[in-house]
Structure 1
Amino acid sequence: MEDDGPPGADNVVNEFSTYEAFLDSQITQTDLYYLEDEELARQLVELGYRGSGEVLRREEFQARKEAAEASRLSKRSQKKTLAHTGKEVSSSAFLTALAEREEANRSGKMTTIIFIRDRNPNGQEISGYIDYAHRLKTEDFDPYFSGRKRLLPRQTDLSFYNWETQTSTSNNTPNYQVIADNATGLLFKNKRDRKILNVDPKVYSRGHSTYPLLHFRANS
């Protein structure tokens, strides 16, 4: 097993703002009395000759300090980017499902495909498949989770169909490749592991796919 550093090192970098402060914490009044030089006392602590705690070199302290700061900023940034935070979504099963999957889709742990069949602002029935992870990265979802806007498929999504005008489009995304000319129907290939997702509800319900598929049909 690799050595992750001295025990309690993470606590050390969180407790002390500078390496000098860390060194000073291990210098006793007796050390200063005999050495009569604070800088020399610090050097002896750094070399492991003096001091009452674990030896932690300057480079390691700085590296751990930067890692701790990066982790803190990452957690704070992640909390800020979750659009559903603070929103009341429990009254909508669809929004609840989106909220439950938001963090995983933003972080890349999951790439959910959403099927939506609804009516556009012109009253036309439309349907399509949406790459949720891709949409999260390219669009502000605050209006959706706030209930000010409905999530609808677009002609730029994985697939789109307007039942009145019979307009049909399909597009690859950073996560999926569309396989439209297939005898079994529409398929999507995950670009990360190359596995195929069959979005036929009958196939999916039999457990033939391991990818998350979210269906939503609005009341017509």
Structure 2
Amino acid sequence: MQDDVGKYKSYEEYLDSLLKAEDKIYMDQEMGRMIAELGYRSSGETLTREKFAQIREQIQMDKRMREKKNEKTEIQDGGEEEDPIVQSVRERYASNKEGTLNTILYLQIETEKGAVVSGHIDIRERIAQENFLPYLTGEKTLTPQSEDLTYANLSRGKGKFTSTPQWQVISENRTLAFKSSNGLDLVYAIPNISRREKEKELSQQWTEIDTKNKNVKAKLFDLYL
């Protein structure tokens, strides 16, 4: 099925391929596509527009990954090492996109000029709001933006909190936390030994990423739904 989808440039072209010759004689194009989309012109599963788009996106991602791999310059025996942040995010991409996982990625980046930018990124929200493919292939670097859950530019003295459909940002009494949309989970950005055991447990579920770059710090929190 995936190989077949790769042949079509659009969902409409896919629907047209399901029609028979007589359909094109007795029905106009719009009616024919409607009949095909309802499943009356396929002996197997007829893809929905959403499913078709998902498969095409996966095909494009696989193609870009192969191209990216071929472009890498091999060093020593093992070849070029992949960015740990890219790898971690890619492993969680499908689950966040499908809505079975909500991931928060914290990044702190120090630039060559000494400026420090940090923030908590709602991965599921980023996937929904922009073309995420370049981040997965490493062609584009994932960095905190002012629309993320938290954003801070220490050199400019700027900071901002933004809640998303997945997380409500709570900042009070010098405490930063994220409340999940189900209202059951409160995730603390920084562990605090004075909190109750349950709160400490949620705080300590952050996973540190060894970025292999002294100027970049990263950690992840995964909430499975």
TM-score by length of 1: 0.58
For structure 2, the 5+ residue unaligned runs are 1-17, 20-37, 70-79, 216-225
Q: Does 1:219 align with 2:219?
A: no
Partner of residue 131 from structure 2, selected from 111, 130, 140: 140
For structure 1, the 5+ residue unaligned runs are 1-16, 19-60
Determine which structure has greater relative contact order: mean sequence separation of CA pairs < 8 Å that are 6+ residues apart, divided by chain length. Answer: 2
In the other structure, the counterpart of 1:156 is 147
| Shift, 1:154, TM fit | 1.0
Q: Distance in 1 between matches of 2:123 and 2:55?
A: 18
Q: 1:144 to 1:210 in 2, by over 3 A?
A: same
Q: Does 1:129 align with 2:137?
A: no
Q: Distance in 2 between matches of 1:122 and 1:142?
A: 29
| Shift, 1:146, TM fit | 3.0
Q: Does 1:173 align with 2:149?
A: no
In the other structure, the counterpart of 1:24 is none
Q: 1:62 to 1:81 in 2, by over 3 A?
A: closer
Which structure has the highest strand share of the two?
Answer: 2
| Shift, 1:172, TM fit | 0.7
8 Å CA contact retained: 2:169, 2:179: yes
Answer with 79-88 or 210-219: which moved more: 210-219
Q: SS at 2:142's partner residue?
A: coil
- Compute the RMSD of aligned alpha carbons: 3.8
Q: 1:197 to 1:215 in 2, by over 3 A?
A: farther
Q: Distance in 1 between matches of 2:87 and 2:191?
A: 21
TM-score by length of 2: 0.57
8 Å CA contact retained: 1:157, 1:171: yes
Q: Distance in 2 between matches of 1:193 and 1:167?
A: 29
8 Å CA contact retained: 1:117, 1:125: yes
Q: 1:119 to 1:92 in 2, by over 3 A?
A: same
Structure of higher CA gyration radius = 1
In the other structure, the counterpart of 2:33 is none
